[in-house]
Structure 1
């Protein structure tokens, strides 16, 4: 992360030619900034609101404040903004909990089968996944037939062997599939209609990390589009290891309405 001439933290923008900054990029950068590799804690959860889209041609400034630092838990507050100090354009605000694991009992409620073979799933090109992905669901995100708002796929990023990158990678990916999954249930629409026939935006996104995991190994991602009404959508997601351990959960509220 660079600093400008005023000593402010500046987040790099991955694609300057895009109309807007991908929200998953900001999520990943916030996770990485809140618990850098030399930190004694890791990100436990993050709740982000996106009051407006970030413009890719303007600098992204990060204000990150440590509001609490305890033995086990810590808290960070973040604001991402653009323009000048006197005319801030707030693009994201975040509450980030960091922690150091404690000893305690373990339990998991799950309906996901363990030891499924990713190699039996169909290869699919999800551009947002920086590695390999395989579709478990029979129908993907580009089909405009009305089917249940569910999506399941395998993913792995073999080049990301640095464990400090695992949580930022999942944060990055988690921002993307929920709107497209909700649109699976709407006759005549699919992910391809986002920003074309439909105006779509993420307005709030939350992630919970439950235990360490290796993103270079196969992970199973399960998405559910829970509700779409009055131009607002809500969906949830879960990330499992191949053996069936739940390692991360996420939820998102978004805007899905006809383009003006």
Structure 2
């Protein structure tokens, strides 16, 4: 995938009936289906059963089994409730007879109310000052460990620019934080809010466990640690524009029992808080 159009081809599901949809998969470098893809496809399925104009404000999900890249994924939507202000949907994803994922999503009618938000970090490096994953591959690819090089060489519809570049050969523990700018490739001028939320959900599964792995970087890395998303929650606060860079600012309060917990906030360049994310992931040292 090289542009937002390729991503939309993946995320917009084939309709089987009013509450059942089919999706296909594309690899992002893992042998299994990327969690962000399943999240976004499930949100696409749930959103297509909303007929009252309500806006997605939160979702909570669990990854139950690794997805097979070669098999289609069927998403079944249960219409749990359409109340006076909120609509709730439950989505179950299957491959053959196996349930691989479940998600609950809540949609809210547009209302006015109080406003406040957590401030973005001060003096954040701007994306124009930073190298992207593509830049890092082009400049340093011949010197990178094999697992890092193979990850960076994959073409993606999103460009990522971390605010700090960590030398993978310099084994030292790091603070439990990570900040990454991201921007879609291609024309995003016609995207509606529901579509933007689905794409943002897809992107939210990238990078977040980095902050949980950082404090153990002297001994742990992606090549010797089994990682997988276990659960994922997201809250959507405000509309936003994909024409400019967005910042995903992440932190990890805890790692224990072969699991790492991370949370993050997504901001516009001018500091408006768009969404918050929380995830616990498997972080199992390999023998």
- What interval of TM-score do these two structures reach, taking the shorter chain for normalisation? 0.7 to 0.9
Change (3 A) 1:169 1:8: closer
Give the match for residue 145 of structure 2: none
Alignment of 1:9-24 (within 5 A): 9-15=21-27, 19-24=31-36
TM-score (ref. length: structure 1) = 0.85
CA RMSD of aligned residues (A): 2.8
Alignment of 1:66-105 (within 5 A): 66-83=79-96, 88-105=97-114
Give the match for residue 29 of structure 1: 41
1:246 aligns with 2:273: yes
Asked if structure 2 preserves the Cα contact closer than 8 Å seen for 1:34 and 1:43, the reply is no
Distance in 2 between residues matched to 1:79 and 1:30, nearest whole Å:
8
Distance in 2 between residues matched to 1:39 and 1:141, nearest whole Å:
49
How far residue 129 of structure 1 moved from its aligned partner, in angstroms, is 5.9
Q: Which of residues 153, 157, 160 is equivalent to 2:180?
A: 153
How far residue 198 of structure 1 moved from its aligned partner, in angstroms, is 1.9
Give the match for residue 170 of structure 1: 200
Q: 2:208 aligns to what SS in structure 1?
A: helix
Q: Which moved more, 1:22-31 or 1:131-140?
A: 131-140
Asked if structure 1 preserves the Cα contact closer than 8 Å seen for 2:20 and 2:77, the reply is no
> Where does the alignment leave 5 or more consecutive residues of structure 1 unmatched?
none
1:44 aligns with 2:57: yes
Change (3 A) 1:116 1:180: closer
Q: Which moved more, 1:29-38 or 1:222-231?
A: 29-38
Q: Which of residues 106, 121, 138 is equivalent to 1:112?
A: 121
TM-score (ref. length: structure 2) = 0.78
Which string of whole-angstrom CA distances, capped at 9 and with x for unpartnered residues, describes residues 153-204 of structure 1?
A: 21111523313432112111111212233222112222x32xxx22211111
How far residue 145 of structure 1 moved from its aligned partner, in angstroms, is 2.4
Distance in 2 between residues matched to 1:17 and 1:224, nearest whole Å:
24
Q: Which of residues 26, 29, 54 is equivalent to 2:67?
A: 54
> Where does the alignment leave 5 or more consecutive residues of structure 2 unmatched?
1-12, 135-151
Asked if structure 1 preserves the Cα contact closer than 8 Å seen for 2:125 and 2:163, the reply is no
Q: Comparing both structures, which one devotes a greater share of its residues to helix? A: 2
Which string of whole-angstrom CA distances, capped at 9 and with x for unpartnered residues, describes residues 45-75 of structure 1?
A: 1101011111112221111011111343110
Give the match for residue 220 of structure 2: 189
Q: 1:243 aligns to what SS in structure 2?
A: coil
